[in-house]
Chains A and B, each alone.
Chain A
Amino acid sequence: MSSETHFTDFKSDEQPTWCPGCGDFGTMNGMMKALAETGNDPDNTFVVAGIGCSGKIGTYMHSYALHGVHGRALPVGTGVKLANPDLEVMVAGGDGDGYSIGVGHFIHAVRRNIDITYVVMDNRIYGLTKGQASPTSRQGFETATSPDGTVEPPVNPLALALAAGGTFIAQSFSSDSQRHADLVQQAIEHDGFGFVNVFSPCVTFNDVDTYDYFRDAIVNLDETGHDPGNYQAARDKIMDPGTEHIGVLYQAEDSVPFSDREGIDSNMADIPDGAPERADRLVREFY
């Protein structure tokens, strides 16, 4: 790690193919800034990305990275972090990736409290497959697969995280760049699973959850005197789906990451040339 890392060190030389104006640009810049601010560099950083427009983020960033299959980024990130606790692991994906096909893994990663950072680019639509309803789409939203409007109410990812025992739950807005970078940084610094749901508008397929909509609707928790350590207050805010909060909704003070509970602290890549010294005793057990 070097303190001189600049956020552009995390930029790959590939040109993003995101639509001009896509919220994912801002989301990514904030992530890179937060990584640099926390003293990381590309050689000790591992980014795992999902599938979707959002998932392309791993391609546009420079670090060790894996772009996996749809919905499974969190288990990959879990494996990376447990195998080598020295790595800074960041997992990123979309609302479809994380809350639809991957929702099971989301709940369990939260519950395990793996010490990674999870950033979801929530545009409330499927972008890459060209505009179908996502689990966070509002009820009644008209899309290619719901021409008469969706009938299901949206999931509330923050509530899922809280119910699963989340220890750091935040929400940010990709175009509020300073605040967004700051929230991701806090998630990185959190000892445990740092979850940030990011309003990251899709300018091509979602004409409801637009920049203008968010600018008007957002309530910044910093300005309301919200105390993230107050579970009840966090629960009340999270269970109020009519309001678009940004900020840290909840942070547990007593968070103990999975690896601490399990006593995992070594880099598992380091193994002896042959069987470990004490391996003989494994055979003796079968006497």
Chain B
Amino acid sequence: MENDLNWAIGGEAGDGIDSTGKIFARALSRAGRHVFTSKDFASRIRGGYTAYKVRTGVERVESVVDRLDILIALTERTIEENLDELRAGSVVIYDGEQTTMADVEVPTEMIGLEVPLTALAEEAGGAIMRNVVALGAACEVAGFPVEYLDEALVKRFGEKGEAIVANNREAARLGQEYVREETDCPNQFSLETTDEDYVLLNGDEAIGMAAIAAGCRFYAGYPITPATDIMEYLTGRIEAFGGAVVQAEDELSAINMALGAARAGARAMTGTSGPGIDLMSETFGLVATSETPLVIANVMRSGPSTGMPTKQEQGDLNAMLYGGHGEIPRFVLAPTTIGECFDKTVEAFNLAEKYQLPVYLTADLSMAVTEQTYRPERFDMESVEIDRGKVVDPEEVEEWLDEKGRFRAHAATEDGISPRALPGTPEAAHMTTGLEHDELGRRTEEEDVRVEQVQKRQRKVDTAREREDFDYREFGDPDADTLVLSWGSNEGAMREALEMLDDRGIDVRFLSVPYIYPRPDLTEAVESAETIIVVECNATGQFADLIEHDTLSRVERVTKYTGVRFMADELADEIEAAIDNEAPPQEVRR
């Protein structure tokens, strides 16, 4: 298929792989093509294999596949690492004059395309541009007009001045010409362009953008992969909207700062990844018991402990659901696509304020660092609605005072939600504590007050279940005997797997669930299916456990915990195998 192209650039960390990949991805998106990227990076700054992959089509692309059409190999290892994905006819672009690549052997069925990347770059003005020469060469192989690179180069290098941009353009042209004139590489693709305007962004950026749109004005965080992008996005942007980002000294500080800002009335957020969540958990309980609205983004990476910081996993679900001592009402939202990161972030802020509790907003590494194209309308600012919940204005304070004129900040209302007075509201000054407290917020150990407050806090969750639409998205054949459930970023690969399964004559109903707690009632769907399969990136099947718990039905687990996301073809195979596995009944695998 000429129009579905899989492209990659690989080399050593520090070789500019990421930024080169981004330039190509952006050029494709400017040309009206859909893009889906993935990164393979090691946890080090220099040295270590790293790659940036781009899949592009005129139709939407939702996942990665294990096939490479064009590979720019800056090191020999790049070829080794990708041998499985290279096919007959795949083109490998490399610099034969480079010492490390002098004896490189490209397997015969592939096309080795030797381009003097460094020499041409020097001709254009500097060896540093060899990646851009390679991009130009790749454009020629792909049959993609090199002009589309220009805009992306301006975006990348514009700040460094016109001369730099001009040199880079020249570098791309030299790469293109070299392939056209000096090699006999068949121009085997011809990438169609369209008039569509797309935006290209990753999950962390979608979360950051949505946070600003939703009125978040304060973000405190401590750098950690793969959540740092949220903080970096907000820094330099939130200020223009009257907000601030603070790089705290650690995660304990970050969540406490965010808590303070939220008490002062700001929409506040903190973000981290697994290890940071552990550090935050004491204060997490305080947030809940003080009934403070707070959004905590957990961009999951592979654990436990420091685990594999640059690798994919969905292993923190239990930590988010059960982390913290005592019993803590909370919400856990898990967007399933980059686009949905936007909606769910806005929703997270609304839920936090409407129910006055902490909301976990969780993405996984694959979603956070993947860039994908969307129509700009997908991020519709007009549709952003803000619901601040029961914030009392000065006139309403009276209603909530006790006989002695004291504000009942934790009034045990029917729906469990109390009035919220922002500091500065006259006559409503009150104290909030992590100690068990009465309606006034005063410490108590009285049995009936304790019970009343515990129930009141829990009641908010029941109220939310009644008032909110905690739904799921449905794909495939609604009447199929096989039901597949997943959460987080597996949706894209799973949707593609559905088509592959369909080709094999296997009907599947697929539900993608973005609400972990409270979650939709899946009993009916589960009971009407014969085989229930839960797909997730962890070893034990944490989401599968929840489904079993809720529905009292046995489910099959398709899990992956290699550190790499599911690929569509792999999922299709695993699901087919799980269906065949169905009889005889077996013990629940844990």
Contact = CB atoms under 8 A, between A and B. Distances in A.
B303 interface: no
Contacts of A42: 429
Interface in B199-250: 199-201, 205, 209, 212-215, 217-218, 220, 237, 239-244, 246, 248-250
B282 interface: yes
A48 interface: yes
A80 B252 contact: no
Interface string B118-160: 0000000000000000000000000000000000000000000
Interface residues of A, number: 60
A267 B243 CA distance: 9
A87 B433 contact: no
A254 B258 CA distance: 29
A75 B431 contact: no
Contact of A271 (B30, B205, B263, B386): B386
A46 to B, nearest CB: 5
A207 interface: no
A45 B200 CA distance: 45
A213 B276 CA distance: 44
B203 to A, nearest CB: 13
Contacts of B214: 275
Contact of B431 (A58, A72, A264, A273): A58
Contact of A83 (B217, B249, B290): B217
Given A87-B424, A268-B242, A80 B263 contact: yes
Interface stretch (B86-94, B375-383, B559-567): B375-383
Interface residues of B, number: 70
Interface in A75-125: 75-84, 86-87, 104-105, 107-108
A276 B424 CA distance: 24
Given A48-B260, A273-B386, A59 B442 contact: yes
Interface in B252-279: 252-254, 256-268
A83 B264 contact: yes
Contacts of A266: 242
Nearest to B428: A43
A81 B256 CA distance: 12
Given A79-B257, A266-B242, A278-B240, A72 B283 contact: yes
B422 interface: yes
Contacts of A63: 429, 431
B428 A79 contact: no
A78 B220 CA distance: 10
A79 B243 CA distance: 12
Interface in A174-215: none
Contacts of B265: 83-84, 267-269
Interface stretch (A226-234, A236-244, A279-287): A279-287
Contacts of B199: 283-284, 286-287
A156 interface: no
B425 interface: yes
A275 B213 contact: yes
A272 interface: yes
A54 to B, nearest CB: 14
Residue of A66, A105, A272 with highest tally of chain B CB at under 10 A: A66
A245 interface: no
A113 to B, nearest CB: 13
B589 interface: no
B59 to A, nearest CB: 20
Contacts of A282: 209, 212-213, 237
A46 B381 contact: no
A279 B424 CA distance: 28
B432 interface: yes
A44 B257 CA distance: 19
A266 B249 CA distance: 24
A268 B264 contact: yes
B435 A84 contact: no
B431 A286 contact: no
B14 interface: no
Interface of B: 30, 197-201, 205, 209, 212-215, 217-218, 220, 237, 239-244, 246, 248-250, 252-254, 256-268, 282-283, 286, 290, 376, 379, 381-382, 384-386, 404, 422-435, 442-443
Given A278-B240, A283-B199, 12 more contacts: A67-B435, A72-B283, A79-B264, A83-B268, A105-B252, A268-B264, A272-B215, A272-B386, A273-B386, A274-B381, A274-B384, A284-B199
